[in-house]
Amino acid sequence: MFKIPFLDLPPLRGAAGTVRLPGSKSISNRVLLLAALSEGRTVVRDLLASDDTAVMLDALRALGCGVAKDGDTVTIVGLGGKLLAKQAHLFLGNAGTAMRPLTAALAVMAATQGGSFEVSGVARMHERPIGDLVDALRGLGCAIDDLGNSGYPPLRLRGPSPLALDAPVKVRGDVSSQFLTALLLALPLVAEKDIRIEVIGELISKPYIEITLALLARFGIAVRREGWEAFVIPAGSRYVSPGEIFVEGDASSASYFVGLGAIAAADAPIRIEGVGSASLQGDVRFIEAAAAMGADVKAGPNWLEVRRGAWPLRGITLDCNHIPDAAMTLSVMALYADGPTTLTNIASWRVKETDRIAAMATELRKLGATVEEGPDWISVEPLKNWKAASIHTYDDHRVAMCFSLAAFNALVTERTVPVRVLEPHCVAKTFPDYFETLFDVVTARAEDIPVITIDGPTASGKGTLADETAKALGFAVLDSGALYRVTGLAARRAGLNLDDGHAVAAIVPTLKLGFRDGHVFLGEEDVSARLRAEATGLLASQVAVHPPVRQALHDLQLSFRRLPGLVADGRDMGTALFPGADLKVFLTASAATRAERRHKQLISKGISANITSLREDLEARDERDKNRSASPLEPAQDALLLDNSDLSIEESVTQVLDWWQQRRPF
């Protein structure tokens, strides 16, 4: 996950490949609660690992459930409907799928078994309505205290208190379908007689209720549905664990890749694994909306293949009540259409993680789009004159994921712009590795992928500065010195004459190099520590003088230029490898400072060293690097010089990030 303040997406141009979706959020949290209410053990496979499931799991632990995690499999030992803990304070973040059902289940259990439970969340959760559910539960006889504003969390659920289950339980269905879901999940716990739930108003988001009913059936509860107006939980209902259950991929998350295929999969399709025509989730019907806009979609039971069909996309007008979450994706696809796109019946957007109608309208306008909005609709015009924009994400995962599709503006305009996504880690709510997954299947022109080069003499701090800068921007790192070091080491081990450039160059293609978690592998051997030895540095500078060796390493170094960007450190990054780099830094420090730092570095690793000979070695290495004919160590003409003799690491990084920001259009 990109845990950084912003992520810049350079212009993207194509897409192809296979994406495996994370588990559905809606199914994951429902299944966890059902497993917790059942008796015995339930093995839940392919569970979504995200913020929302994490708060649910924490809550279940606090209530006394057994929870054992092994990768994306979680085993729950349920309560069998009996409260083990009679008091708990449950923090539920911004997870509506945890807040609403837990409120109902705990209110009902506290009423019948006694206890006191507080449920709270982040500030936005305390602005998300729950009053209709609370009213329904109070109507039943549950004792619920408002701990903040009436009608919103936080709440206290306490008991015992007598329940009146003879009359129908009434709940509004026109604000959030989660209120009805919460009652459907909670009331089987007390269904000694038939319990009838009646919906007031037009029920929205019906497909989510279908998920609830299907999962209830898997756990032994056969709810009788009377149209969408009434639901009857049969007398004697009892949760029975299915033993093992698989969570299907998240259909709402699929929408970004369906949109991606429609916009950018011009040659080969995007294959999406984990949802398909047999999916329980209503958002799978997003494919119909995407097809109406022009996407070419094929569907199997648990997979989708999407490629570009009509281009430009077609503007549409669509009632999106059945796909409220996925529909947000359409509003960004609309930028690539041939006419306006109007999405209606989306009032629920206003009470989600943020006011999504306002958020989408504001951020689309930043890109230059003409957008109109109403209480329950949004209309977006196609965009021709794109502006580089810094997209605010409102702590809303879907805003962040949707706007990644704006990075394909190169497909409709000559004047391409990058897109900055602020706080990209908000995707952790449902799809922590969203951007990594996206980068695996999209393509950009190499010259569009930003590069920062950091060249300079030995021990000036290039590697440290490159690592920290890359971390701040989410970029990859090329430690080109490591490639010369590994070549020198391998040549020495092979007994080669290091003055024979052709012989040394010939072993480069045979090296079985691996780069994993910041370590360098030669075959199966982790040679990272060996490479950092001073002696290996000297071997490196000996082999680095040969043009054939430099040529042999050339393409390998270029291959590090990957999305979303690269920081490359070495001696000739700005002069030879990336002459068009967006920012070039030439980093220096006095020889005395550098020798002192290297000395400290070695001593801290428990390696004894002599500061005078270290200084002699590094000066000798610098001399050789400066005076060789092939790509000598020298600043590029357009490099910015940074002498960090008197700067801390943090100050150096801040300087480079300032220079970088000055070059950005945001």
Ligand X SMILES: Nc1ccn([C@@H]2O[C@H](COP(=O)(O)O)[C@@H](O)[C@H]2O)c(=O)n1
The residues carrying an active-site annotation are: 325
205 marked as binding residue: yes
For ligand ATP, give the closer residue by CB, 181 or 453: 453
Using CB under 6 A as the binding rule, the residues of this chain from 479 to 498 that contact ligand ATP are: 481
Stretch of 176-184, 195-203, 461-469, 493-501 lying at the interface with ligand ATP (CB under 6 A): 461-469
- Distance from CA of residue 479 to its chain's centroid? 26
Backbone phi and psi for residue 156, each to the nearest 5 degrees, phi listed first: -115, 135
* Cβ–Cβ < 8 Å for 244, 42: yes
Give the binding range for ligand ATP (CB under 6 A) out of 223-231, 462-470, 487-495, 560-568: 462-470
Q: Tell whether residue 141 is among the known ligand binding residues.
A: no
Q: Which does 621 bind (CB under 5 to 8 A by kind): ligand ATP, ligand X, none?
A: ligand X
- Residue range at the interface with ligand ATP (CB under 6 A); choices 308-316, 458-466, 498-506, 632-640: 458-466
Residue 460's binding partner out of ligand ATP, ligand X, none, with CB under 5 to 8 Å set by partner kind: ligand ATP
Binds 632, which of ligand X, ligand ATP, none (CB < 5 to 8 A, cut-off by type)? Answer: none
Residue 485 binding: pick among ligand X, ligand ATP, none (C-beta 5-8 Å cut-off by kind): ligand X
CB crowding 572-602: b at 16 or more within 10 Å, else e: bbbbbbbeebbbbbbbbbebebbbbbbbeeb
How far is Cα 135 from Cα 137, in angstroms, rounded to an integer? 5
- Which CB sits closer to ligand ATP, 396 or 625? 625
Is 8 in contact with 418 (CB distance < 8 Å)? Answer: yes
**For residue 301, cis peptide bond before it (omega within 30 degrees of 0):** no
Phi-psi region of 205 (alpha: psi -120 to 50; beta: other; left: phi over 0): left
- Residues at the interface with ligand X (CB under 6 A): 458, 480-482, 484-485, 537, 540-541, 544, 570-573, 621, 625
Which span sits near ligand ATP by CB under 6 A: 317-325, 457-465, 500-508, 558-566?
A: 457-465
Nearest distance from C-beta of residue 527 to ligand X, angstroms? 13
Query: Which contacts (CB < 8 Å, 24+ apart) does range 372-379 have?
Result: 375/347, 375/350, 376/344, 376/345, 376/346, 376/347, 376/350, 377/342, 377/343, 377/344, 377/345, 377/346, 378/331, 378/342, 378/343, 378/346, 378/349, 379/340, 379/341, 379/342, 379/343
For ligand ATP, which residue of 608, 612, 629, 648 counts as binding (CB under 6 A)? 648
Q: For residues 311 and 521, which CB has a smaller minimum distance to ligand X in the complex? A: 521
Minimal distance in Å, beta carbon 636 to ligand X? 12
- Which of ligand ATP, ligand X, none lies near 644, with the C-beta cut-off 5 to 8 A by kind? ligand ATP
Residue 549 CA to residue 530 CA, distance in Å, equals: 21
In 321-381, alpha helices (H): 327-333, 356-366
Ligand-binding annotation for 631, yes or no, is: no
Residue ranges of E strands in 219-375:
224-226, 230-233, 244-246, 270-273, 296-300, 303-307, 317-319, 341-344, 371-374
Q: Is 201 annotated as a binding residue?
A: no
- To ligand ATP, the closest distance from the beta carbon of 573 in angstroms equals 12
Strands 169-172 and 195-200: parallel
If the CB atoms of residues 392 and 561 are measured against ligand X, the closer one turns out to be 561
Residue with tokens 């698989």: 246
Site for ligand ATP, residues 489 to 548, rule: CB under 6 A: 537
Q: CB–CB of 543/503 below 8 Å?
A: no
* Shortest distance (Å) from residue 571 CB to ligand X: 4
Tokens 């799809």, residue located = 431
Query: Binding of ligand ATP at residue 597 (CB under 6 A)?
Result: yes
Q: Name the minimum Å distance from CB 566 to ligand X.
A: 14
Binding-site residue numbers for phosphoenolpyruvate are 25, 96, 128, 178, 356, 398, 429
Interface positions with ligand ATP (CB under 6 A): 458-464, 481, 537, 597-598, 601, 644, 647-649, 652
